[in-house]
Structure 1
Amino acid sequence: MNKVMNMHDAVAKYVESGDTICFGGFTTNRKPYAAVSEILRQGQKDFTVWAGPAGGDWDMLIGENRVKTYINCYTANSGYTNVSRRFRAAIEEGKLMYDDYSQDVLMLQLHAASLGLPYLPVRLMQGSGLLDFWGISREERKALEKVDNEKFVEVENPFNPGEKIIAVPVPKLDTAIIHVQKASPDGTCIIEGDEFHDVDIAIAAKKVIVTCEELVSDEYIRRDPSLTKVFSQCVSAVVHVPFGAWPSQCYNYYDVDGVALTEYDKASKYADAADAVKKLKKEAAKKGIEFNLENKPETFEDYVEKWVYSVKNHEELLDKIGGSRLMTIRNVPGLGYAGKVQ
């Protein structure tokens, strides 16, 4: 069965406002940015998110007010921004309903979802503040249709009476989006390098969009079944988008675009021009100097306008980035990484 679609149609059909959703990848690794940009352009919102180790992908959606509830272990563009800025600002300003688990527990929760488990017993997080502090209270949880009423429940180990363990909920994913190196028209995928939680969410979700660097034939992908990581039965749509993880990296294909991630780090400090003026005035007052805005800084609003809304699709984005710039991040055969340090 041929599941190949263009990005616009795949997102329009399989990403719905109000979905419980998860993206693949890890902070700055193989994040499905091309799909994220299309969601931003189309306007879907009110997501309940199980983010895994997230980066600028979810930070942009949070910054554009598309996320209703955010369940996460951490959100950062590793090496560029230690805590993603729009994510942090939304929490500090009370604009985001947020709860967190430790990274190991959250990854196990996503794995439990792929196994169809009703809940997950763990010893992890015991004795930590993650049990003491709830980002979303019981009262708030009861009003949220797609969030479990309890963050966790302490239960007795039935095989060792008297021992207490922690039972945590298992995500019920409507939609997953992953970016892979190779996919065939029927949705069979090859993931090179670390799989992260991509296979788990592809199995667990009701709807799965796969974006890929290379679209290969069904015959090609069957030549070595040992390389197959995601099977066609899991996949709803396949979208061919070279550099679809830009500005994050895609193992064996290209490195992170350090210029773009540095630009995002600086721009995302400020939501918009008014926010920039407010924060810079405060900084000037602390230093006892006169406020001057001769050189207006780029803001988050400017960044998403330039790299998301000003282009109508991923192909136009690649033209805007430019072939010479993209070639600087291409992996060099034999090295496994780009030859030019950014």
Structure 2
Amino acid sequence: MDFRDFQVYLSRPFITTLTATLFILPLSFFKRLDVLSYASSIGCLTIIYVVWLIVYESFGETGLSKKPIHIWPENLTEPLQIIPIICFAYQSHMTAIPTYACMKDRQLSKFTFCAIISMLICFLAYSIVGIFGYMSFGIGKVPSDILQGYGDKSATLTIAIIALVIKNFTTYPIVLYCGRDAFMGLFGWDIDYHVVKRVTLTIIWFVLSLVIAILVPDISPVINLMGALSAAFIFLFPGICLLQSTLQKDPRLLLNKNRFLVFLAISIATLGAFVCGIIFVEAIQDLKRDSLAKPLVKGLRISLGKSLCV
């Protein structure tokens, strides 16, 4: 039998469909988020190895890499290029309420402490990977998938790829749970009594995500589009909620504190609308360009100049 007969089984669509169906779909049917706590803990531990590998590779055999890099931006608008990926990376708002609902000891102080620790861990991991990855490849040379930038196909790199796969397997069901719970709440469906609807919605959500994963080989358009949506979750929606809650407590704004909160809410919502609109327009324009020349994050590239990535 010719080796070409097995190419269909080694292709990206087949491997993606098979692994997602075997490892992700079974974890997506649970009705409570706390069931996924053990799986997500394994996914978080795998990231530690990936962070270590990127730091290790940046030093190489002769010490720390000395590729050309920019320490400071060339202009004041250049830092805005990273807004999409920052919004995409820190969009943990959607899991906050389900996580609090699944806590055994529901105290706001404990939840706040856990949220701060989680954000600090994310900040450290993102910062270490970003700094050492940037120093490894230099300006304009950072690949879309940073692990693909390492030429040596060693065992350590293979383990890192497997670690990222495990992380994605354990992260996706959490996001699906939040989206499914919000969708069922929108129609007033109880998650305990509408089992058939819950299962059906889970399968539909999974299939649509799988189709997108197969048809979109590069993550850059996903980050650009999701960065726009994440900006709305981070700035726009919280600003609107703060404005609404303040007006409910003090409709006439008799207190100076509430006046300040209204001003702050309007400022945050305005900033969110501006950032969301700019990122979305740039993401749509990027989709029309040649995919071979697209960097990982291009947001505001036309307006602000050269991209940081390739």
TM-score by length of 1: 0.28
TM-score by length of 2: 0.30
Q: Which has the higher helix share?
A: 2
Query: Which has the larger strand fraction?
Result: 1
> Quick one: higher RCO (CA 8 Å, sep 6+), 1 or 2?
2
Rg comparison, structure with higher value: 2
